[in-house]
Copies of this chain bind each other. A is one copy, B any other.
């Protein structure tokens, strides 16, 4: 294996990873819904936020850690968002991710649609010492759902993440043109029956993935489903995909333990607002009663700095982890997360904030460009 060239930024990893991915996989990983307006906006909306650095503040020692959930601290306000089908990126798939997570002391959220079973991921997590959360899709067949919950619990995950933005699948055009379906040798590893473990072939106008979701996933999901889930588990339940203050209040009312502001990386409702634009209103509604994270468009440490400065507990990254994974497996994952951590630390040093608490106390650390 020829050694990697210097890869300094997430974008370097994105470019490099392309050579290791077949078009079908690359398209599946990269694409957003429809015209990809929201996909692009998630990223560009960060550029509208500008940092106002302080000076002469003795930045010899910086504390980047943060209380993550129920008193547990995280070294950095950064985790791995759940993404499906990681074996398309690298042979060991989710196992490589969990190793990368451990190496960078990050928490990993495992997708319901992993190509490795939650049991195997959980086992590896214990070996390498990684913290694991489990992302839940609710199947029409509630027994399947309940069994998923119990298996995740048994595998040692610390929280359940209910994805609430996917009652139906967003249409990703590239996947549809590609008639995207999982490569033959890969399965939905958390399911037994063929209809749930295998993805149908795609046909003109509809990817196999889209067929799978509309046949399996329950579009009638609502806050009552959440209550039902809470009766089935003692784990903290976090909802992922809230984009509004009113829904955040409903989430609070339903007793969730945390919220991830997310639009699924621009893969569901196209033309919606960016997540970093939705964050302030969700934070205002929640008023610090539970932690609020965000994901979508985080591409460097300044983005993390901005989200945290606005009040987020932390951020998750989806695609960037896949770029690391496809570039060089677990070490690529660790490298990508390491870059983000280093850039975040660097941002704190250069702007003079010694701790996240100090940063969040300053409500003018970050300003919207329209205010200048």
Closest to A242 in B: B55
Instruction: State A176–B8 Cα separation when bound (angstroms).
Output: 8
Q: Mark A47-80, 1 if CB is under 8 A from B, else 0.
A: 1011111111111100000000000000000000
User: Which of B59, B173, B220 is close to A168, meaning CB atoms less than 8 Å apart?
Assistant: B59
How far, in angstroms, from A167 to B56 measured CA to CA in the complex? 8
In the complex with contacts A273-B367, A351-B269, A221-B168 CB distance below 8 A: no
Q: Which residues from B are CB-within-8-Å of A60?
A: 218-220
A145 at the interface (CB under 8 A from B): no
Give Cα A90 to B225, complex, Å.
Answer: 52
Is A151 at the interface (CB under 8 A from chain B)? no
A92 at the binding interface (Cβ < 8 Å): no
Size bin of chain A's contact surface: 35 or more
Measured CA separation A48–B100 after assembly (Å): 40
Docked Cα-Cα span, A53 to B54, in Å, equals 36
CA distance A108 to B132 in the complex (A): 56
Chain B nearest CB: distance from A48 CB in Å?
A: 9
A199 within 8 A of partner (CB): no
**A173-191, CB under 8 A of B: which get 1 and which 0?**
1001100000000000000
Closest to A226 in B: B56
Counting every copy of the chain, the complex holds 4
Residues of chain B within 8 A (CB-CB) of A9 are: 34, 173
Query: Besides the contacts A35-B300, A41-B50, A60-B220, what 11 more A-B pairs have beta carbons closer than 8 Å?
Result: A8-B173, A8-B177, A34-B302, A52-B273, A53-B263, A54-B244, A56-B225, A168-B350, A170-B350, A269-B350, A269-B351
16 A-B pairs (CB sep. < 8 Å): A6-B177, A6-B204, A6-B205, A34-B300, A37-B47, A50-B271, A53-B263, A53-B269, A56-B164, A56-B222, A56-B226, A58-B167, A167-B350, A170-B346, A171-B346, A269-B351
* Chain A residues with a Cβ under 8 A of chain B: 6, 8-9, 34-35, 37, 41, 45, 47, 49-60, 164-165, 167-168, 170-171, 173, 176-177, 204-205, 218-223, 225-226, 239, 241-244, 246-247, 250, 263, 268-273, 277-278, 300, 302, 306, 343, 346-347, 349-352, 364, 367, 370, 372
